[in-house]
Structure 1
Amino acid sequence: MTIINAFRVVNIFRNASKSNVSPIQKYSSYVKYAEHKQLEKIRNIGISAHIDSGKTTLTERILFYTGRIDAMHEVRGKDNVGAVMDSMELERQRGITIQSAATYTIWKDHNINIIDTPGHVDFTVEVERALRVLDGAVLVLCAVGGVQSQTLTVNRQMKRYNVPFLAFINKLDRLGSNPYRVLKQMRSKMNHNAAFIHLPIGLEKECQGILDIIEEKAMYFDGDYGEIVRLDEVPQDRRAEVQERRHELIEHLSNVDEHLGELFLEEKTPTVEDIKQAIRRNTLKRTFTPVLLGTALKNKGVQPLLDAVLTYLPHPGEVENTAIINEVKDSEGQTIILDPKRDNSKPFVGLAFKLELSKFGQLTYLRCYQGVLKRGDNIYNARTSKKVKVSRLVRMHSNNMEEVNEVLAGDIFALFGVDCASGDTFVNDAKLNLSMESIHIPDPVVSMSIKPKNNKDRDNFSKAVARFTKEDPTFQFRYDPDNKETIVSGMGELHLEIYAQRMEREYNCPVELGKPKVAFRETMMSPCSFDYLHKKQSGGAGQYAKVTGIMEPLPPHQNTVLEFVDETIGTNVPKQFIPGVERGFLDTCQKGYLSGHKVSGVRFRLQDGAHHIVDSSELAFFLAAKGAVKDVFDEGAWQVLEPIMFVEVVLPDEYHGTVIGQLNKRGGIITGTEGAEGWTTIYAEVPLNNMFGYAGELRSMTQGKGEFSMEYSRYSPCLPDVQEQLIRKYQEEMGILPDQKKKKN
């Protein structure tokens, strides 16, 4: 036993003496979880869903049944404890997940790494970075709510990272639960080739267990906490339904699986093993989605879900992960496939996917994709080439750290004291210039002014902002020199409100948030040509540059981007000055002249120009491009775009008319409604600018029963009166009267 391990054993015994657990139990638990499994016995999964579908409750049950925790607690903890995975005090108070939390556990001699992710759209980046490093996922759906707006977002994220997943329809015990309707929605709204592998034995208060369609068995969950799984025969009155659904399952699999398709055509009955292998093959290819049932809160259906994770989801060796070899920095290199063997035959490659500040310093979560990393090794950040010595290696169980000596390919772990950004690649060979695909970061949609209530808290305020912007790339911070105020941007009001509360709690820095500001954009309505000469001669080297071309609007589906096209022929504009023209165009588009917002949805076509053999420079062409864009602002036709949100409102039927009337009043367009058993779901598209304060209004209209969620849909031209208000407000702020505006330009 090494000296380090001897010290660790002493600490385990010392800590165990302070708790009710015996030292022998504590040590055997340490040995059990520190042991490295074979590659085939590892699963990296995420639990993802729409808000309030029961993800954290499900994770709590998984940890209890696998023996990782000794007692289960509710998310909105009546006993003031709360769920293990909701370690932040704010999460326990609000009953929502704010940060994704990682843990690992053992089920049937398989090591399962789990990341519990938030459901609220405001914290969508947490889901993005979790899915980037996971091999498989469990998509949780509410048996009452079904496929909701955030379910569709999570589905898109899984598709982006090609993550195979199982669907788990939760909350069978809730009033109005209907898993059959949810399956229809999965097929119609999400276009999944999905079929049940479980059926419910009773719904709502009558929920007693589940029927396994493949094995043709009934499962009951006995004991105080449903920990005893009792298998029984399928009840007589349900056998016909089980046979029918089994036939439906085989039919859906036969459509995508060659082997099962042949058996189906030959009218042979596939064996249980045939069906399971076909489900696994097609789940990995994302051509089939198995649908499981249960109710996590009432302790039913969780153990079969764990079995399905082992049976149908991939181990790290079955997922192809690639990296790019850059021969020269920032160049596009060739792609190589990483080798997930759990040995040190290949160099270590890891991806940092999440940063968090703990009491010991910055904690960096990484996924090991290749090779082995040991305590004391040196690793290099592929982006910055900085060398870091690994002094501590830990695996996370929510906010508890458990030290390990080494990590192998397929493991998720954390390091201390590593200066990096989310999405950085780490290697153990300085010559290996590898980089892995980074994480997709959505653009912020809401901005608010922020300032500390007391001037003496400015230092703490700076520390808090520096930490939060580093941890969360969707939380952005800037100073607006025109309005002389500090602006924070994020994914929604709740997102910014949570960070304001965290500043007060964690940094003792109360802050004031101003009225939310919407990220409007400006764009062109019709093409406009330009011919601009920049000429300056005042002794010494002069400046000379001429640019000619057209600025034109991009199609509506591209109205959030800027495009620069070089159409020059010959040497009128030397190629070395083209980047200067592009920079001048992009720089001027940072602030429009109509309402002061960013310009987007515009293409700058440089067609010709002129240069001087002595006086031309990149700076001269940069200034010429800026002048050309300003000319187009004066001559062209411009309009303001605003973000449109996809809004989903769930409410009791009796408030249907009132809520639709209110959405219309807010400038919304109703795109569809859906009703089921006393509840209505309204789908609408509403300008974000009109959605502030809607949460309180909806609660008062529906006596607290209605709830809504929204996510960014697209940018669209705003109404003339809104545009007029924005222009007038901007002119007042800048001290420009309408007739003076042209002069200033």
Structure 2
Amino acid sequence: MTELQEEILKRRTFAIISHPDAGKTTLTEKLLLFGGAIHVAGAVKSNKIKKTATSDWMEIEKQRGISVATSVMGFNYGDYKINILDTPGHQDFAEDTYRTLTAVDSVIIAVDVAKGVEAQTRKLMEVCRMRNTPVMIFVNKLDREGKDPFDLLDELEAELNISVRPLSWPINIGQRFKGVYNIYEEKLDLYTPSKQIVSESVNFKDINSPELENYIGDSDAEKLRSDIELIEGVYPEFDKEEYLKGKLAPVFFGSALNNFGVKELLDCFVQIAPSPRPIHAVEREVKPEEEQFTGFIFKIHANMDPNHRSCIAFVKICSGKFSRNENYKHVRNGKLMRFSSPTAFMAQKKSIVDDAYPGDIVGLPDTGNFKIGDTLTGGEELHFKGLPSFSPEMFKYIDNADPMKAKQLNKGIDQLMDEGVAQIFTNQFNGRKIIGTVGQLQFEVIQYRLLNEYGAQCRWEPLNLYKACWIESDDPAELENFKKRKYQFMAVDKEGRDVFLADSGYVLMMAQNDFKNIRFHFTSEF
């Protein structure tokens, strides 16, 4: 087996997704704790402890207690190299999360035991299903009162449209929570409420042995036996192949805040989760074990370090070995580029890497060369598809509030738009700049970051539009006619493509009826 194949088999690259407040960031922290990557878990919500969560490092995230950007973290666990992408749960940042899902090989979904499956989780699951991404489910917050575990399993199957198989099972819940029985490893994990230590676990092959009563008492022992019997009767045996096809989701129970059930999840995960898989490019399928390096940019982040106005482009390595100071081809602009300081991340702390392998995520310093979706290769002409920008649903004019700072404002807008947080359109009628987003919160984030990172002040002016759609046609005369008739509602995006700003659903429908030869697109990928 070659060195490259060995490295590939060690890699586990996954994202943690959930609805806001299901405990995703806390779960990420606890996984990092087991990897020895951090030594104190920060209490995310508590203001008494000033050490905030490791993965929420942007200033605005610390103030709000929510994650607004995907963070990338890597650590070693046993023989495995694990890359976690912690995604924003807030729906205003769904687009960032959709893109992240193109860069991972599997997913862990965190679900709150009291709230069950929420809207955002359902949407993200659809993206996983489109790509047949393997999914594991972690039911969190068992130290609080919540739904009956069997009801919850039914809900997971119905809402997420996937078969489930519990690999651990809770002994009571809320105030009376005593621990879980780990079905996968045949162990009894007993719960002691504490945020810093892992509770006791006992090997327990035969659940019918009378010793069970000594650990959890008579009534709970009896209930556990009948529950396990029911599980074995109702749910199929756990089948790793079905999991890898994205058809079956293993379920674990625990409490991330109290550090309970997380190690069990991680131990099972490294054994069954897939190592990096082949990825489809437009030209052909790219296998990870190929000699030639290939990778694509799935995220750009401006200002990782506020003291240096630098952008970082995150590259997901698809095949071959990436080496520092080698020449690689930037396919879109046909140039060769070399990188003297590629970085790997542990949240905000970064270190320079010499080599990286398929599945790894590397940060490249970016001075405006990259766009989301760009491909880097060892020389081959390849294009990785599947990183969409969705049509925005909220629009505002952006104006400069401080005439002395026009240059800073323009630079700030430019860099933040490259991140893909929002989209910018220039109105052809009056030349004004319009920012389009998927959610209201993004306007606040943009305003805050322009002020704090670029020293520029912006003013918003409301603009009532229904949708932006990209238009194209094989009939130049009809396109010209359309642009004349809709003169006031025409704009161009950052790439100079034509965009029609429809002010109502009715207007859009009429336009589609009247102009049969024009194609209207609602994502920028066409």
Whether TM exceeds 0.5 here: the answer is yes
Does residue 436 in structure 1 map to residue 342 in structure 2?
no
- Residue among 37, 40, 46 paired with 2:9: 40
- Residue among 451, 457, 460 paired with 2:399: 451
Q: Report how far residue 293 of structure 1 moved.
A: 0.8
Question: Structure 1's 77 and 37: CA in aligned 2 closer, same or farther, altered over 3 A?
Answer: farther
Partner of 1:350: 295
Partner of 1:424: 374
Question: Structure 1's 481 and 439: CA in aligned 2 closer, same or farther, altered over 3 A?
Answer: closer
Partner of 2:317: 368
Q: Distance in 1 between matches of 2:183 and 2:385?
A: 40
Map 1:163-242 → 2, pairs under 5 A: 163-176=133-146, 178-220=148-190, 225-227=196-198, 229-231=200-202, 233=204, 235-236=212-213, 237-238=219-220, 241-242=223-224
What RMSD in Å do the two structures reach over aligned CA positions? 2.9
Structure showing greater Rg: 1
Q: Distance in 1 between matches of 2:381 and 2:320?
A: 16
| Counterpart AA for 1:486 | K
Does residue 520 in structure 1 map to residue 480 in structure 2?
no
Question: Structure 1's 504 and 124: CA in aligned 2 closer, same or farther, altered over 3 A?
Answer: same
Q: Distance in 2 between matches of 1:132 and 1:584?
A: 37
| Counterpart AA for 1:400 | K
Map 1:593-608 → 2, pairs under 5 A: 597=503, 599-601=507-509, 602-603=512-513
Q: Map Cα deviations across residues 413-443 of structure 1 (whole Å, 9 max, x no partner).
A: 11123611111111011xx211112312221
Partner of 2:263: 303
Partner of 1:491: 438
**Which consecutive residues of structure 1, in runs of 5 or more, have no partner in the other structure?**
1-34, 255-274, 326-335, 523-559, 565-577, 608-624, 626-642, 644-745
Q: Report how far residue 158 of structure 1 moved.
A: 1.2
Question: Structure 1's 303 and 591: CA in aligned 2 closer, same or farther, altered over 3 A?
Answer: farther
| Higher deviation after alignment, 381-390 or 92-101 | 381-390
Q: Map Cα deviations across residues 123-144 of structure 1 (whole Å, 9 max, x no partner).
A: 1122112110100010111111
Question: Structure 1's 521 and 376: CA in aligned 2 closer, same or farther, altered over 3 A?
Answer: closer
Q: Distance in 2 between matches of 1:191 and 1:583?
A: 42
Q: Distance in 2 between matches of 1:197 and 1:247?
A: 13
Question: Structure 1's 365 and 521: CA in aligned 2 closer, same or farther, altered over 3 A?
Answer: closer
Partner of 2:33: 64
- Residue among 277, 281, 285 paired with 2:241: 281
Q: Report how far residue 379 of structure 1 moved.
A: 0.8
- Residue among 430, 438, 449 paired with 1:502: 449
| Counterpart AA for 2:357 | L
Q: Report how far residue 161 of structure 1 moved.
A: 2.8
| Counterpart AA for 1:385 | G
Partner of 1:407: 356
Does residue 465 in structure 1 map to residue 413 in structure 2?
yes
Q: Distance in 1 between matches of 2:234 and 2:279?
A: 29
Q: Report how far residue 392 of structure 1 moved.
A: 1.5
Partner of 1:151: 121
CA contact (8 A) 2:177 2:191 kept: no
Does residue 584 in structure 1 map to residue 480 in structure 2?
yes
- Larger relative contact order (C-alpha < 8 A, sep ≥ 6)? 2
| Counterpart AA for 1:391 | S
Question: Structure 1's 587 and 603: CA in aligned 2 closer, same or farther, altered over 3 A?
Answer: same
Secondary structure in 2 matching 1:324: coil
| Counterpart AA for 1:454 | D
Q: Map Cα deviations across residues 638-676 of structure 1 (whole Å, 9 max, x no partner).
A: xxxxx9xxxxxxxxxxxxxxxxxxxxxxxxxxxxxxxxx
Partner of 2:282: 324
Secondary structure in 1 matching 2:281: strand
Q: Report how far residue 180 of structure 1 moved.
A: 3.6
Q: Distance in 2 between matches of 1:521 and 1:348?
A: 39
Q: Report how far residue 511 of structure 1 moved.
A: 2.4
Q: Distance in 1 between matches of 2:313 and 2:137?
A: 30
Partner of 2:254: 294
Partner of 1:109: 79
| Higher deviation after alignment, 347-356 or 71-80 | 71-80
CA contact (8 A) 2:391 2:467 kept: no
Q: Map Cα deviations across residues 48-75 of structure 1 (whole Å, 9 max, x no partner).
A: 0011111101111111122111111111
Question: Structure 1's 82 and 139: CA in aligned 2 closer, same or farther, altered over 3 A?
Answer: same
Q: Map Cα deviations across residues 303-346 of structure 1 (whole Å, 9 max, x no partner).
A: 01101211232111xx3312232xxxxxxxxxx222212xxx62
CA contact (8 A) 1:253 1:288 kept: no
Q: Distance in 1 between matches of 2:476 and 2:195?
A: 72
Question: Structure 1's 508 and 592: CA in aligned 2 closer, same or farther, altered over 3 A?
Answer: closer
Question: Structure 1's 251 and 433: CA in aligned 2 closer, same or farther, altered over 3 A?
Answer: farther
Does residue 50 in structure 1 map to residue 8 in structure 2?
no
Q: Distance in 2 between matches of 1:582 and 1:243?
A: 72
Question: Structure 1's 239 and 119: CA in aligned 2 closer, same or farther, altered over 3 A?
Answer: same
Question: Structure 1's 423 and 218: CA in aligned 2 closer, same or farther, altered over 3 A?
Answer: same
Q: Distance in 2 between matches of 1:424 and 1:250?
A: 48
Q: Map Cα deviations across residues 468-515 of structure 1 (whole Å, 9 max, x no partner).
A: 11111x512234465675321111111111111111111122322233
CA contact (8 A) 2:172 2:220 kept: no
Partner of 1:91: 61
Q: Distance in 1 between matches of 2:143 and 2:422?
A: 38
Q: Report how far residue 188 of structure 1 moved.
A: 2.0
CA contact (8 A) 1:165 1:289 kept: yes
Partner of 1:381: 330
Secondary structure in 1 matching 2:160: coil
Partner of 2:285: 337
Question: Structure 1's 224 and 469: CA in aligned 2 closer, same or farther, altered over 3 A?
Answer: closer
Q: Map Cα deviations across residues 194-220 of structure 1 (whole Å, 9 max, x no partner).
A: 132222223223333211234443212
In the alignment of these two chains, the number of paired residues is 483
CA contact (8 A) 1:480 1:486 kept: yes
Q: Report how far residue 389 of structure 1 moved.
A: 1.1
Q: Map Cα deviations across residues 605-624 of structure 1 (whole Å, 9 max, x no partner).
A: 779xxxxxxxxxxxxxxxxx
Q: Distance in 2 between matches of 1:461 and 1:360?
A: 13
| Counterpart AA for 2:323 | K
Question: Structure 1's 209 and 582: CA in aligned 2 closer, same or farther, altered over 3 A?
Answer: farther
Q: Map Cα deviations across residues 527-559 of structure 1 (whole Å, 9 max, x no partner).
A: xxxxxxxxxxxxxxxxxxxxxxxxxxxxxxxxx
Question: Structure 1's 521 and 452: CA in aligned 2 closer, same or farther, altered over 3 A?
Answer: closer
CA contact (8 A) 2:30 2:259 kept: yes
Q: Map Cα deviations across residues 377-415 of structure 1 (whole Å, 9 max, x no partner).
A: 111122221221121221111111111111122221111
CA contact (8 A) 1:393 1:406 kept: no
State the identity %.
Answer: 24
Map 1:127-146 → 2, pairs under 5 A: 127-146=97-116
Partner of 1:29: none
CA contact (8 A) 2:8 2:357 kept: no
| TM, length-normalised to structure 1 | 0.60
| Counterpart AA for 2:243 | T
Q: Distance in 2 between matches of 1:200 and 1:589?
A: 64
Q: Distance in 2 between matches of 1:112 and 1:284?
A: 18
Q: Map Cα deviations across residues 681-703 of structure 1 (whole Å, 9 max, x no partner).
A: xxxxxxxxxxxxxxxxxxxxxxx
CA contact (8 A) 2:464 2:503 kept: no
Q: Report how far residue 604 of structure 1 moved.
A: 5.6
